[in-house]
Amino acid sequence: MTKSKNFLNNLVKTFGFAPSKGGQNEEDLEKIAQQEQKHFPFETLAAATKNFHPSHKLGEGGFGPVFKGKLEDGREIAVKKLSQSSNQGKKEFMNEAKLLARVQHRNVVNLLGYCAHGVEKLLVYEYVLNESLDKLLFKSNRREELDWKRRFDIICGVAKGLLYLHEHSHKCIIHRDIKASNILLDDKWVPKIADFGMARLFPEDQTHVNTRVAGTNGYMAPEYVMHGHLSVKADVFSFGVLVLELISGQRNSSFNANADAQNLLDWAYKLYKKERSMEIMDPTLASSAVTEQVAMCIQMGLLCIQGDPTVRPTMHRVIVILSKKPSHLEEPMRPGVPGSRYRRSRRPAGGGVSSTTAGTSGESNSRYSDTSFTVTGTTSAAAPVQDVRGKRPVES
């Protein structure tokens, strides 16, 4: 008997429904059962996206294309068609997706459900109206829509979403790919973190080394790039980069605003040391900026990107900093050198931990130490090459 039939029978038993003539009740209950299990039939998603028509394509990242769709009930959705290179079995995928669909927070994109159909694996998200932050922040003609209040609210919202993923979801989820294109903005400009838990859906395996993608150029913590050490502090680092990008309107990975600085982080730190940190501020913020708040956020961002992960604040501390009136903050140390995007190399048998989530055991405070682990047994020093979309340097 299928799971949904089981669920249906339980409902019938519990509530005493008797399937009536025409099987109408049974059909309704079947629908409820499907909703409960968050499983979408492939046909529903094909119909919602006009057969994954190119005109419905919202974009394409490292895991496959994303299509906009509309369900029969009127709900707008974004369907991520995972590239077939993931070697994860269907059952594992469904288990992971089911777990991730339990993640619910105002600042995290709602994963409505999933679909596994033959070789196809799909994730179904709520459609977020203003799409991703990078499309606004790094386009000169739209940047002005993001005044200081909006940017500050985005910083606070992303911090809350990350705190939830790290400490308050059913499992500690390390995102591993916090960046402007993974922050979506809804109709009220509420930021929502997208693509959490992707590494659970693309687990390391012994035979398909080339399926791995991990982190993005300019956002990755040095200890992760160089040694594969992944902890919640790697997300804190990426969050710090995002904060400095929001304040400056500059993309760290293509920074060229200052000849004396290697990158945005270096520039911000050098100016901070000369007590001129406000010079990194995006000129379009001049009329809306609250100077003290901007200065506090720059300092907080610099604390997050420190080279030593142990001295970076936790997301809990970040929230405390953001919720207080600008007050005395510790002095940031040198920023970590950001690395380039890389793929994990083959994990030796039995070695390393491939998941972005850690176990649920332990008190929330102990999670910080629990979640620091080695991603991979070896990381390659091979020079990165661009992938076909020219977007991600990957190992050959």
Ligand X SMILES: Nc1ncnc2c1ncn2[C@@H]1O[C@H](COP(=O)(O)OP(=O)(O)OP(=O)(O)O)[C@@H](O)[C@H]1O
Active site residues: 177
Q: Candidates 100, 128, 146, 295: give the one binding ligand X (CB under 6 A).
A: 128
| Contact assessment for residue 195 and residue 177, using Cβ atoms and an 8 Å cutoff | yes
> To which residue do tokens 């083959």 refer?
346
- Least distance from Mg ion to the Cβ atom of residue 154, Å: 16
CB atoms closer than 10 angstroms to residue 153: 16
Q: Is 245 in the site for Mg ion (CB under 5 A)?
A: no
Q: Is 180 in the site for ligand X (CB under 6 A)?
A: no
N residues, the chain: 396
**Distance between CA atoms of residues 9 and 16, nearest Å:** 10
Burial bucket for residue 160 (CB in 10 Å: 0-12, 13-18, 19+): buried
| Contact assessment for residue 344 and residue 395, using Cβ atoms and an 8 Å cutoff | no
Q: Is 184 in the site for ligand X (CB under 6 A)?
A: yes
Give me the 54-73 binding string for ligand X, x by CB under 6 A, dash otherwise: ----xxxxxx--x-------
φ/ψ region of 218 (left if φ > 0, alpha if ψ in -120 to 50, else beta) reads left
The dihedral built from the CA positions of residue 198, 200, 201 and 203, taken in this order, carries a sign that is: positive
Q: Of the ranges 23-31, 124-132, 168-176, 232-240, which one interacts with ligand X (CB under 6 A)?
A: 124-132
- Residue 387 CB partners (closer than 8 Å, separation 6+): 62, 393, 394
Q: Is 107 in the site for Mg ion (CB under 5 A)?
A: no
Q: Is 245 in the site for ligand X (CB under 6 A)?
A: no
Q: Of the ranges 36-44, 176-184, 269-277, 304-312, which one interacts with ligand X (CB under 6 A)?
A: 176-184
- Least distance from ligand X to the Cβ atom of residue 275, Å: 36
Q: Candidates 48, 194, 221, 280: give the one binding ligand X (CB under 6 A).
A: 194
For 260, the 3-state DSSP assignment is coil
> To which residue do tokens 């055991």 refer?
361
Q: Is 131 in the site for Mg ion (CB under 5 A)?
A: no
Q: Is 167 in the site for ligand X (CB under 6 A)?
A: no
Q: Is 395 in the site for Mg ion (CB under 5 A)?
A: no
The dihedral built from the CA positions of residue 133, 135, 136 and 137, taken in this order, carries a sign that is: positive
Q: Of the ranges 44-52, 60-68, 147-155, 336-344, which one interacts with Mg ion (CB under 5 A)?
A: 60-68
| Site residue total, ligand X (CB under 6 A) | 22
If we measure between CA atoms, which residue out of 199, 162, 186 comes closest to residue 82? 199
Q: Candidates 86, 107, 182, 379: give the one binding Mg ion (CB under 5 A).
A: 182
Q: Based on CB atoms, which residue is closest to Mg ion, 195 or 395?
A: 195
- Amino acid at the residue 51: N
**Distance between CA atoms of residues 191 and 330, nearest Å:** 28
Q: Candidates 61, 222, 309, 336: give the one binding Mg ion (CB under 5 A).
A: 61
Q: Is 107 in the site for ligand X (CB under 6 A)?
A: no
Given the rule CB under 6 A, which residues bind ligand X? 58-63, 66, 78, 109, 125, 127-128, 131-132, 135, 177, 181-182, 184, 194-195, 216
Given the rule CB under 5 A, which residues bind Mg ion? 61, 182, 195
